[in-house]
Structure 1
Amino acid sequence: MPADPLRVLLADDEPLFRGTVRVLLDAQPDLAVVGEAGTGREACALAARTAVDVVLMDVRMPEVDGVAATRRITAAPAAPRVLVLTTFDEDEAVHEALRAGASGFLLKDAPPTRLLDAVRAVAAGEALLAPSVTRRLIADFLARAPRPDRLAGVTPRERDVLALITRGLSNREIEQRLHVGRHTVKTHIGHLMAKLAARDRAQLVIAGYEAGLAD
């Protein structure tokens, strides 16, 4: 039997944008839009009472902004992943959204195929950082004083894995770089998530930036 489609909640205050994205997502056999919200408050309410895998969250939302809504949604048990939609002039909001628990961010004018891939990647637990914005995100983190104490309790090998995750390597690439097996890499990542209180790969990336591992 085919797997159930991924359930997506659209949160954006522009009905036309929501409608366009809905048509795109619903045309995919593995994706289904299960709700739409025009405000951050509505998004939180819908996410609380609807089975959702991924929330597409605009940063600029009325009533409750996208950062606050993301924080509320991701704080719930078995919370859905949140993919933040942003524009070029919202870097600080992106930083705050990632800290609030978002699994990644994407530019609102990204090509349709990029958006579809992003929803699937985030649902699978991957970090998704828009390439055209990532450079400035990294530069901002590197401009701050590193926090080596962020890695208290992390073993040297786990630190190596975290450094490679921070630089954007996939599990397969980490296996090849460190000459270890798939299970070993997954075990290290599991330990890192537990020690750093990270719920997904995006939060591991943030921890790596904060610890100065993005050089």
Structure 2
Amino acid sequence: MIAGRRVLVVDDHPVVRRGLRAMLESESWVATVTEAATVAEAVRAATVGPVHLIAMDVGLPDGDGIDAAGRILRAAPGTRVLILTMDDDESVVDRALRAGAHGFLLKDTDPELVVDSLRTVAGGGVVLGPRTAGALLTGMRAAPARVPAPFDRLSEREREVVTRLTAGESNAQIARRLGLSEKTVRNQLSLIFSKLGVTDRLRVALLARDAGLR
């Protein structure tokens, strides 16, 4: 069980920062919560003192939150970052994942789900909201006429799992849709990650995007 996480909330709106801070401070796995309103404040806070988890907005007064996340992750690679923004444009999602973010959620997501997602990211997991996945991989099909590399290494069932994964579905949802147990889905995902040479769901989504799966 995760515990003692130091969290940094980066947003230029005080109400957003303080609201998320109030929710996080009631969580048993959170040790401290600090705030930043600019890129400069965020980079300083994350590189001067240890920060385990960052909730990062994109549009900040002095720059871009995704660029800031990339700088922080290069300086402190153990930091976990969840991008939390109102912008679900495909290019923004793409940039965030390429910068190394471990998750991407829209600000209008239910607050409790935001906290749950932050907990998941803090614990080493990844989060890609359904609407975000849709922006990234609109219309992806499980078995196109010609399957591009490296997805040609996968079986038809494994490609079905990838399709559901990139649509933002959880393991439980994938299991229900495909008539499998959650344990089977977890095992298949491990095998898929190994075949594709990736470590998590977000990298699968990026790989599918680059492969032109539409």
What range is the shorter-chain TM-score in?
Answer: 0.7 to 0.9
**Unpaired runs of at least 5, structure 1:** none
Structure 1 residue 110, shift from structure 2 partner: 2.2
Structure 1 residue 121, shift from structure 2 partner: 1.8
Match of 2:154 among 153, 156, 162: 156
Asked whether the equivalents of residues 86 and 94 of structure 1 are also in contact (C-alpha less than 8 Å), the reply is no
Question: Aligned ranges for residues 127-142 of structure 1 at < 5 Å?
Answer: 127-139=126-138
Relative to 1, partners in 2 of residues 1:185 and 1:50: Cα closer, same or farther, differing over 3 Å?
farther
Relative to 1, partners in 2 of residues 1:66 and 1:164: Cα closer, same or farther, differing over 3 Å?
same
Q: What is the alpha-carbon distance in structure 2 between the residues aligned to residue 188 and residue 40 of structure 1?
A: 39
Relative to 1, partners in 2 of residues 1:118 and 1:9: Cα closer, same or farther, differing over 3 Å?
same
Partner residue of 1:25?
A: 24
* CA distances 1:87-137 after superposition (whole Å, capped 9, x unpaired): 156543232112211122112232221111110122233332233343233
> What value does the CA root-mean-square deviation take over the aligned residues?
3.6
Moved over 6 A (4+): none
Relative to 1, partners in 2 of residues 1:178 and 1:34: Cα closer, same or farther, differing over 3 Å?
closer
Asked whether the equivalents of residues 37 and 60 of structure 2 are also in contact (C-alpha less than 8 Å), the reply is yes
The percent of aligned pairs where both chains have the same amino acid is: 33
Instruction: Name the SS for the 1:209 alignment partner.
Output: helix
User: Structure 1 counterpart of 2:154, which letter?
Assistant: P
Relative to 1, partners in 2 of residues 1:40 and 1:58: Cα closer, same or farther, differing over 3 Å?
same
Partner residue of 1:66?
A: 65
Bigger Cα displacement from structure 2, 98-107 vs 42-51? 42-51
**Unpaired runs of at least 5, structure 2:** none
- Aligned pair count reads 205
Match of 1:188 among 176, 186, 191: 191
Question: Aligned ranges for residues 41-80 of structure 1 at < 5 Å?
Answer: 41-80=40-79
Relative to 1, partners in 2 of residues 1:166 and 1:132: Cα closer, same or farther, differing over 3 Å?
closer
* CA distances 1:138-167 after superposition (whole Å, capped 9, x unpaired): 22989xxx9945x29x8436x746555434
User: Structure 1 counterpart of 2:70, which letter?
Assistant: R
Relative to 1, partners in 2 of residues 1:91 and 1:27: Cα closer, same or farther, differing over 3 Å?
same
Q: What is the alpha-carbon distance in structure 1 between the residues aligned to residue 98 and residue 139 of structure 2?
A: 14
Partner residue of 1:108?
A: 107
Bigger Cα displacement from structure 2, 114-123 vs 25-34? 25-34
Asked whether the equivalents of residues 129 and 168 of structure 2 are also in contact (C-alpha less than 8 Å), the reply is no
Asked whether the equivalents of residues 147 and 212 of structure 1 are also in contact (C-alpha less than 8 Å), the reply is no
Q: TM-score, normalised by structure 1?
A: 0.73
* CA distances 1:53-105 after superposition (whole Å, capped 9, x unpaired): 22100010132311101111223454322111111565432321122111221
Instruction: Name the SS for the 1:75 alignment partner.
Output: helix
Q: What is the alpha-carbon distance in structure 1 between the residues aligned to residue 41 and residue 140 of structure 2?
A: 32
Partner residue of 2:208?
A: 208
